[in-house]
Amino acid sequence: MVNEGQLVEMIKEAKSSKERKFKQSLELIMVFKDIDVKKGFAINETVQLPKQTSWPATVCVMASGEIGLKAKNAKADRVINTEELNQLGSDKRESRKFINKYDFFLADTQLMPVVGKVLGQLLGPRGKMPTPVPFNAPIESLLQRFRSSIRIRVRNSLSMACKIGDEKMEDGDLVANATAVISAVEKKLPNGDKNIKKILVKTTMGKAVKGPTQVKKKNAQK
């Protein structure tokens, strides 16, 4: 639908918006069509961005023993053991604050039943159930992968938006990240790119820049 050259032009136009006193994020917006949302349409996908952003995702590891120690050595944003996990289960307010604080969760496979029992009712609806970590798994590699990832979540909606970087990044890097997201979403749509109505790019405070399909429609109406 939108090729790399077109994405470059969209990103350049978005970045040319009024300069702000802070570094703005670049957001990708996708609007869908010909999908019956009443039939439970949903996407909950983790997409690893090929180009590093200035805001790595936060990752919490739920583990005790050796896996917990490895996670601490690998500088996970938080490592929570079995005892702390059970304590969270007795305070729903603290549990919600804890869950909202992190983008991704990893958990020792042996702890998964406890996680499901204690936090499953809160993690599930938010699409944040932990990725199981088996014994001897390369914790550093897993943390690196998730830190460079974003979560694409669509639930009973015909649109989605996500950050692909910031205005200080190279245009080519932003295009690479945008392409990775578009490709991942296309694969989850019933009819692939045929279900994409339009693609837009915008900075945090800027106006949305439409893709070429909308420009053509506008010209046709003239």
Q: Count CA atoms within 13 Å of residue 33 on its CB side.
A: 6
pLDDT given for residue 213 in this prediction: 52
Q: Residues 6 or more apart from 179 whose CB is under 8 A from it?
A: 4, 7
The Cα-based distances of 71 to 2, 80, 107 in angstroms read 40, 10, 10
Written as six digits, the tokens of 64 are 């005790």
Q: What is the CA radius of gyration of the chain?
A: 20
How far, in Å, CA of 105 to CA of 172, rounded? 30
**59-146 is classed in which CATH architecture?**
3-Layer(aba) Sandwich (3.40)
Which three-class secondary structure string do you get for the chain? CCCHHHHHHHHHHHHCCCCCCCCCEEEEEEEECCCCHHHCCEEEEEEECCCCCCCCCCEEEECCHHHHHHHHHCCCCEEECHHHHHHHHCCHHHHHHHHHHCCEEEEEHHHHHHHHHHHHHHHCCCCCCCEEECCCCCHHHHHHHHHCEEEEEEECCCEEEEEEEECCCCHHHHHHHHHHHHHHHHHHCCCHHHHEEEEEEEECCCCCEECHHHHHHHHHHC
How far, in Å, CA of 73 to CA of 131, rounded? 19
How far, in Å, CA of 196 to CA of 185, rounded? 10
Q: Are the beta carbons of 27 and 204 closer than 8 angstroms?
A: yes
Tens place of pLDDT for every residue, the chain, 222 residues? 788 999 999 999 999 987 888 889 999 999 999 999 888 889 999 999 999 998 999 999 999 899 999 999 999 999 999 999 988 888 889 999 999 999 999 999 999 999 999 999 999 988 899 999 998 899 999 999 999 999 999 988 999 999 999 999 999 999 999 999 999 999 999 999 999 999 999 999 999 999 775 434 444 443
pLDDT given for residue 143 in this prediction: 96
Location of each CATH 3.30.190.20 domain in the chain: 4-54+150-221
Q: Report the CATH number of the 4-54+150-221 domain.
A: 3.30.190.20
pLDDT given for residue 222 in this prediction: 39
Q: Residues 6 or more apart from 1 whose CB is under 8 A from it?
A: 182, 193, 196, 199, 211, 213
Location of each CATH 3.40.50.790 domain in the chain: 59-146
